[in-house]
């Protein structure tokens, strides 16, 4: 393991939650192991672990980018991660308003539906 891998796994667990990371690690196979190593080191160990902006801000940026690009499955994952990053539902709406202007109303409209469904599910799942 490298320093980036250690930092990456730490921040990945902090943002996505131990249960998600454990499931992802358990599902890892030789075929996708290089990809998992890449995202752990590069995305989580290098980008997400930087201390220049907060996890809340990174969360909002990530949500806006995923929504703007139409990456719905990853969008839902990062919406759930707001429980760990400190980004509020109001923060998410602000990010999605930017998506509407800069990436298109249809992308934002679809992302808002995903956000509403995801946040409703999160409220139901809370003890």
CA distances from 86 to 92, 107, 109, 124 (A): 11, 24, 23, 19
| Domain ranges within the chain, ordered by starting residue | 1-52, 53-127
Report, in angstroms and rounded to the nearest whole number, the Rg of the chain calculated over CA atoms: 15
* Separate counts of helices (H) and strands (E) for the chain: 7, 0
CA 38 distance to own-chain centroid: 16
Q: Full-prediction pTM beyond 0.75?
A: yes
Distance between CA atoms of residues 51 and 92, nearest Å: 21
79-124 pLDDT, tens digit per residue, is 999 999 999 999 999 999 999 999 999 999 999 999 999 999 999 9
- Specify whether domain 53-127 bears CATH 1.20.1290.10: yes
């Amino acid at each position: 393991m490298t320093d980036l891998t250690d930092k990456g796994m730490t921040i990945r667990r902090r943002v996505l939650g131990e249960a998600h990371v454990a499931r992802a690690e358990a599902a890892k196979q030789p075929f996708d192991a290089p990809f998992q190593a890449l995202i752990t080191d590069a995305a989580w160990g290098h980008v997400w672990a930087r201390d220049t902006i907060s996890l809340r801000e990174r969360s909002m940026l990530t949500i806006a980018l995923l929504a703007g690009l139409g990456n719905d499955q990853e969008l839902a994952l990062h919406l759930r991660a707001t429980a760990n990053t400190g980004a509020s539902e109001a923060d998410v709406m602000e990010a999605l308003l930017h998506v509407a202007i800069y990436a298109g109303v249809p992308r934002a409209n679809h992302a808002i539906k995903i956000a509403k469904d995801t946040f409703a599910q999160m409220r139901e799942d809370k003890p």
